[in-house]
């Protein structure tokens, strides 16, 4: 097992090392405290662990296992996701900074017990600066394996002292954010009688559909996995399905809920949207800077993704205290009020909600930066 930090990567003209250094220190993606490249050749593990900030406490964020098209794309994802976790944890009121890890490869073919154990050793080598959990491509059973080598692991099974599936409260939080958006847009915090399109009905999306159906919404879904759609329509015959996300955004909707991978809100999608509210579970929904203004210019109310999808991180953070579901759910319910406060701040400042959310998160991080006592050794 070997760990390489970016400060150890040789800068060569046009080499990958130069690209990493440039991204960390000189690009808009910079500002991270630490980025670690991990490799374990016997198991095939290649991973990036990015710590954006520990101003509020140990960095907390999930582990994404994905077949990236390039190593550079994997690095970009880790940098973007970890920054998002800093902001998410700040606005969720958690005493945690932001971090994220990505494991490069197809989890269906590469994931083994030995690889997960090697990954756990890498996380443990950071000595508690990073607390990991599940994300796309990793599950509760995987965290149980990682935890055998790393005590800074959350999202474990109840049988192993954990909180279980964090997608339950992620979906609950998104629903609370959607209720807040409905109140801001239509005057009532309910989706009853509204048509909601959910793109991605996997771990989080299928729970969100349950909340929407219970609330009286008309639901339209799509997913790249036909079995995921079939599960939803079999359970809820009133739910309809369309072929893909392109078809969904063109379907007459009140609310569009991206619940798959990031970058869902690109220029063509925003131009085609029929919905007047966007609120979903996916991370990093805005494909590039400026999309938030395009949404606002079209009169589309955007609920910032990292605000409304914080229920999962609230759940796994509670696990570190000895998990209590009702305590975590009560904290996740506050996402409704936080989202409303962001909409109000956006109105007062004359900026899109995404900008208002960033400002509030940065304010909390700045206020606590000088008081990061968890990093200081005891002098007593």
Please give the positions annotated as active site. Answer: 100
Please spell the DSSP secondary structure of 230-271, one letter per residue.
Answer: HHHHHH-TT-EE-SSHHHHHHS--SEEEE-SSS--B-HHHHH
For 109, left (φ over 0), alpha (ψ -120 to 50), or beta?
alpha
Q: What are phi and psi of 132, to 5 degrees?
A: -100, 170
**Does residue 61 contact residue 101 with C-beta atoms inside 8 Å?**
yes
Q: Which of 122, 123, 146, 126 is nearest to 134 (CA)?
A: 146
Rg of the chain, C-alpha, whole Å: 20
Reported as type and span, the H/E element at residue 65 is strand 59-66
At 74 the three-state DSSP class reads: helix
Query: In whole angstroms, what is the distance from residue 286 CA to residue 279 CA?
Result: 12
> What does the angle CA 205 – CA 285 – CA 90 come to, to the nearest 5 degrees?
90
What are the residue ranges of helices labelled H in the chain?
16-25, 71-91, 107-110, 113-124, 140-146, 167-186, 205-214, 226-235, 245-250, 267-272, 291-297, 305-308, 311-319, 325-333, 335-349, 353-369
Contacts of 362 (CB under 8 A, 6+ apart): 87, 90
Contacts of 161 (CB under 8 A, 6+ apart): none
Q: Which of 196, 226, 200 is nearest to 213 (CA)?
A: 196
Q: Which of 109, 159, 158, 166 is nearest to 132 (CA)?
A: 166
Q: Which of 92, 19, 53 is nearest to 304 (CA)?
A: 92
């Amino acid at each position: 097992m070997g760990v390489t930090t970016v400060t150890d990567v040789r800068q060569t003209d046009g080499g990958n090392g130069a690209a990493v250094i440039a991204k960390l220190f000189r690009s808009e993606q910079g500002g991270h405290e630490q980025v670690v490249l991990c490799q374990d050749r016997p198991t095939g593990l290649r991973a990036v662990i990015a710590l954006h900030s520990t101003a509020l406490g140990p960095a907390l964020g999930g582990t994404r296992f994905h077949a990236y098209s390039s190593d550079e794309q994997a690095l970009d994802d880790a940098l973007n996701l970890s920054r998002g976790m800093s902001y998410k944890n700040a606005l969720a009121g958690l005493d945690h900074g932001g971090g994220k890890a990505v494991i490069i490869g197809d989890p269906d073919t590469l994931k083994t017990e030995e690889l997960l154990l090697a990954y756990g050793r890498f996380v443990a080598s950071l000595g508690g600066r990073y607390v990991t959990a599940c994300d796309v491509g990793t599950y509760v059973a995987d965290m149980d394996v990682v935890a055998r080598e790393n005590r800074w692991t959350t999202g474990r099974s109840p049988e192993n002292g954990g909180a279980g599936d964090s997608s339950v409260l992620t979906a609950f939080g998104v629903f609370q954010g959607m209720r807040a958006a409905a109140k801001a847009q239509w005057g009532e915090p309910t989706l009853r009688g509204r048509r909601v399109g959910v793109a991605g009905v996997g771990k989080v999306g299928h729970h969100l559909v349950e909340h929407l159906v219970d609330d009286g919404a008309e639901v339209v879904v799509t997913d790249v996995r036909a079995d995921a759609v079939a599960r939803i329509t079999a359970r809820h015959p009133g739910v309809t399905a369309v072929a893909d996300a392109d078809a969904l955004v063109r379907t007459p909707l009140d609310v569009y809920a991206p619940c798959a991978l990031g970058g869902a809100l690109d220029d063509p999608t925003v131009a085609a949207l029929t919905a007047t509210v966007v609120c979903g579970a996916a991370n990093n929904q805005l494909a590039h800077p400026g999309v938030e203004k395009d949404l606002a210019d079209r009169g589309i109310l955007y609920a910032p993704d990292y605000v409304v999808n914080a229920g999962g991180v609230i759940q796994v953070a509670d696990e570190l205290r000895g998990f209590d579901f009702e305590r975590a759910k009560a904290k996740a319910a506050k996402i409704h009020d936080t989202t409303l406060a962001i909409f109000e701040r956006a109105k007062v400042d004359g900026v899109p909600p995404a900008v208002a959310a960033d400002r509030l998160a940065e304010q909390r991080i700045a206020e606590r930066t000088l008081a990061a006592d968890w990093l200081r050794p005891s002098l007593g």
